[in-house]
Amino acid sequence: MALTPEVLNLLNQHVALVERPSDPPEETRSISIEQDSMGNITAESFKLYNIAQVSNHDLLTFVGKELGILLFDDTAKKIMYALLMLLFDFAPKLKLKFNEQDAKVLFAVAKLGKKAFTTSALQSTFSLVHASELTPEKLEASLEALVQYKVLKRTAFQEYELRRKKNNEI
């Protein structure tokens, strides 16, 4: 059965296609934003992707420590040793500490209270929250760094979206 032009027009008038929001990633991702009593702001990102930033030196150090497995004869002890060494070496690498400017930008994003935002909305919120101006170039540099760290996602020109939940400890 073929659709007639009348049926197609009727469908076109009564059916609206909307973009479905993407499903949140399965990976554990979080941001911790803290402001101390002196007003200093720090931010940290905790996610599996941060391991990709591990240096070759750290990787070789880990391999050297893992050679300690040869000291054990029992397989269960070898497995326990390897897991403990993996945990001790790579758990700190899951966390990424941001510089002060990027932390202030993240703080302003948190104060926006929205997952998606524009740079102009962020600029005005930044000025209100921090009582100082951030040049558009510096704001773009911070936003680009946060996109590279996979904290934000660029959705359009000067539009961004937060990729994870925020743990605000302010």
- Domain of residue 140 covers 100-169
pLDDT bucket at 78, cuts 50 / 70 / 90: confident
> The dihedral of CA 11, 16, 19, 20: what is its sign?
negative
Q: What is the C-alpha to C-alpha distance for residues 101 and 103, in angstroms, rounded to an integer? A: 5
In a domain, 25, yes or no: no
In a domain, 158, yes or no: yes
In a domain, 152, yes or no: yes
Which CATH number covers residue 110? 1.10.10.10
In a domain, 36, yes or no: no
Mean of the per-residue pLDDT values of the chain: 79
pLDDT of residue 148: 85
In the DSSP assignment, the letter for residue 67 is: G
Specify the number of domains making up the chain.
Answer: 1
Between helix 100-112 and helix 136-148 the angle, nearest 10°, is 90
